[in-house]
Chains A and B, each alone.
Chain A
């Protein structure tokens, strides 16, 4: 018997005022995409905050908000995704090695540079002794963390998961990305509580997740989208809202298309922000939403959400 999987909590620190947003109308199109950071005092005890880097803080706040909304004190497992990991601490430690000629080194930046520092911190915070994975792939790493969460909920006795995607911009990496001529650099943290039980004010049900790899053209993409919906028994006409990382109106044109990267910028876990918007839209309009994300090799991920 297949379990239903619901998004029961959602917290995002992003370039938008997303901790207060209810749907895509609350977001503005931007030119630059640095996070609107909350007043951390409202969320993190100062003694803890002092030892936390910025990426840890935005993750911590997002996770806390998601858990509070879901009314969950202790998730059974944690899956995190981060394309680039804890860049600030990585940079600090690298610069420390170079400037001190490998002599005077404080261990804290090294400890905090590890990709799984984020999920590790959350495990300590919520005493979650179950699985603790960190996906660090290219564009689809958040979808992979979602897939694994869904598998664990179906395969094992897992009824709730804390799932998140996060990447940060730093002064140095912004410069490097500019040198690499990467446009619209963004950042953000988005955490979700997935549960096999509805709550009174849950956001959405996650009906399906799929991938299509290395497609040749728009016709193939259209076919892949149609196949994905067909497998889920959904008539394409039923989909009123498409949330996507870039304009797909030439391929698939429901009533409303939301290009989420216009709100959060491009980064390797931007699709977690996309899922956040998609979940808000489902809740607000009580309508099914299709989320599509593309990577640079013309591969695609599809997430189907409904009420």
Chain B
């Protein structure tokens, strides 16, 4: 029996580019990025490291979500914001065959870093209860009435790409009929200081794939997609954004934080995702690269891309200079972006990329281009722990 096609039939997103899907489309098509100095995060690095920040305070988010006052992590507020938007956009009626696979890397850390000493003394404990990553998923599930399978993945910066992979598998195996998949991560002092300690934060707007790149800009976001079988989406009359045609997760098995010099894990992930899709790299109309702007990632990824491109010139770009690197949400927000590209037939620009990298012969698209054909997109997400994921989205006639 042939496997049923898994399709994307709804999307919700919030990031530095705006509060909804349309705002993301507008920003990407007009070249308007979201990288600024932080207004909400208390850190001595405020003026040093620009970030992709969502311009709503937690209080504003609580009010917008009409939640009672309480102890919430920013991660779960952002997550609920994107999930509700997704469900409202398709007038979703919750049922007991719908599950949730969410991804995050910081969870309630944005509050724990404020109140850690209090926790030890026995105060502000309501925030301590919100700390574990799974709590943000349980919070979203309870708010939207999910009573079936829900889980949380955390594989660093590939987390939400893996959430999409797991969601697709759960549908294929009949565990669930529909899955809300995605991820959320808030900006935190923990991650800013963490990436600073590794000396991979750029002090200016990041420059993925530029020879002079100095590192990444952190961002925050939540992005969730509804996936189901094509049959199920058609029956419900939902718009089909794309087919999730291929996916793979592999490991570099090389180093905890660095990619192997030749990008072997990245190569394997892309190769296996293409195989699963039954497609070749030459079938791809666009690659949404991981492209963080760090010396190590962009070189390893470029080498892996070059090996797969062979003689072909496949357009690619990184959208990290728009959103910042949103860690656990990155795979999902780039899945949203890929779906926008398929449905609006365009390639977003790799902002700030001027100087070709010395070590490779490939160069990203630096201007937004409208195209005639946009049928297949490969989207990469790579993370610490040698974790590499690739997704293939293909156009579907509605």
B133 touches A85 (CB 8 A): yes
Q: Which residue of A lies closest to B150 (CB)?
A: A137
Shortest CB distance A220–B (Å): 13
Indicate if A179 sits at the interface (CB-CB under 8 A). Answer: yes
Q: B371 on the interface (CB 8 Å rule)?
A: no
C-alpha spacing A239/B268, complex, angstroms: 44
Cβ-defined contact, A155 with B43, below 8 A: no
Q: How far is the CB of A303 from chain B (nearest CB, A)?
A: 15
- Whether A133 sits at the interface, judged by CB under 8 Å, is yes
Q: Which residues in A have their C-beta under 8 angstroms from that of B394?
A: none
| A124 is an interface residue with CB less than 8 A from chain B | yes
B384 at the interface (CB under 8 A from A): yes
Looking at A15-23, A138-146, A185-193, A250-258, the stretch in contact with chain B turns out to be A138-146
Are A116 and B149 also in contact (CB < 8 A) when A110-B197, A111-B257 are?
no
Closest residue of B by beta carbon distance from A154: B173
Residue of A nearest to B126 (CB): A180
**Closest CB in chain B relative to A57 CB, distance in Å:** 15
Across the interface, which residues of B come within 8 angstroms of A151, CB to CB? Answer: 169-170, 173
A135 at interface by CB-CB < 8 Å: yes
Identity of the chain A residue whose Cβ is nearest the Cβ of B123 in the assembled complex: A179
Does A36 belong to the interface (CB within 8 Å)? no
CB < 8 Å: which of B43, B128, B151, B156 contacts A141?
A: B151
- Chain B, range 251-307, C-beta contacts under 8 Å to A: 251-257, 264-265, 268
Asked if B256 and A115 sit within 8 Å, CB to CB, the answer is no
From A94-102, A221-229, A278-286, the one touching the partner chain is A94-102
A33 on the B face (CB < 8 A): no
Q: A105-B196, A134-B154, A135-B151 are in contact. Are A111 and B250 (CB under 8 A)?
A: no
Max chain B Cβ within 10 angstroms of own Cβ: one of A132, A151, A211: A132
Question: 1/0 contact trace for B92-121 toward A, CB 8 Å?
Answer: 000000000000110000001100110111
Could you tell me if A116 and B385 are in contact, using CB atoms closer than 8 angstroms? yes
CB closest chain-A residue, reference B265: A129
Contact A107 B197 (CB under 8 A): yes
Nearest A-chain residue to B120, judged by Cβ? A175
**Chain A proximity mask over B23-62: 1 for CB below 8 Å, otherwise 0:** 0000000000000000000011100000000000000000
Chain A residue at minimal CB-CB distance from B135: A138
Min Cβ gap B120→A in Å is: 6
Does B122 contact A179, Cβ atoms closer than 8 Å? yes
Interface assignment of A232: CB less than 8 Å from any CB of chain B: no
Which of B5-13, B187-195, B335-343, B349-357 makes up part of the contact surface?
B187-195
Q: How far is the CA of A131 from the CA of B249 in the complex (A)?
A: 5
Determine the distance from Cα of A154 to Cα of B173 in the docked complex, in whole angstroms.
9
Interchain nearest-CB distance for B387 vs A (Å): 6
Asked whether A116 and B152 contact (CB < 8 A) given A124-B254, A133-B162, A137-B134, the answer is: no
B137 in the interface (beta carbon within 8 A) = yes
List of A residues within 8 angstroms of B119 by Cβ: 176, 179
CB distance from B172 to the nearest CB of A (A): 7
| Interchain CB contact under 8 A, B132 and A268 | yes
Q: Does A12 sit within 8 A of B, measured CB to CB?
A: no
Any chain A CB within 8 A of the CB of B90? no
Known contacts A110-B197, A129-B268; A121 and B387 CB within 8 A of each other: no
Asked whether, in the complex, the Cβ of A107 is within 8 Å of the Cβ of B172, the reply is no
Residues on the A chain within 8 Å of B148, using CB: 213
Q: Chain A contacts of B175 at CB under 8 A?
A: 147
Instruction: List residues of chain B with CB within 8 A of the CB of A127.
Output: 253
| Known A83-B134, A97-B193, A133-B166; contact A114-B384, beta-carbon cutoff 8 A | yes
Least CB distance, B167 to chain A, in whole angstroms? 11
Residues of B within 8 A of A85 (CB): 133, 154
Minimum CB–CB distance from A105 to chain B (whole Å) comes to 4
Q: Which residue of B lies closest to A102 (CB)?
A: B44
Contact assessment for A111 and B384 in the assembled complex, using a CB-CB cutoff below 8 Å: yes
Residues of B within 8 A of A214 (CB): 147
Q: B151 touching A97 by the CB < 8 A rule?
A: no
Taking a contact as CB atoms under 8 Å apart, the answer to whether A116 and B384 are in contact is yes
Docked Cα-Cα span, A115 to B149, in Å, equals 21
In the bound complex, CA of A94 to CA of B115 (Å) = 11
In Å, the complex CA distance between A130 and B170 comes to 19
Extra A-B contacts (7), CB below 8 Å, given A126-B253, A132-B387, A214-B147: A97-B190, A110-B198, A123-B251, A124-B256, A129-B250, A129-B268, A138-B132
26 contacts between A and B (CB under 8 A): A84-B132, A93-B194, A97-B193, A98-B116, A101-B44, A102-B45, A111-B257, A114-B105, A114-B385, A116-B387, A119-B385, A120-B387, A123-B251, A129-B251, A130-B251, A131-B249, A133-B153, A135-B153, A135-B154, A136-B133, A136-B134, A144-B151, A152-B169, A155-B169, A179-B125, A213-B148
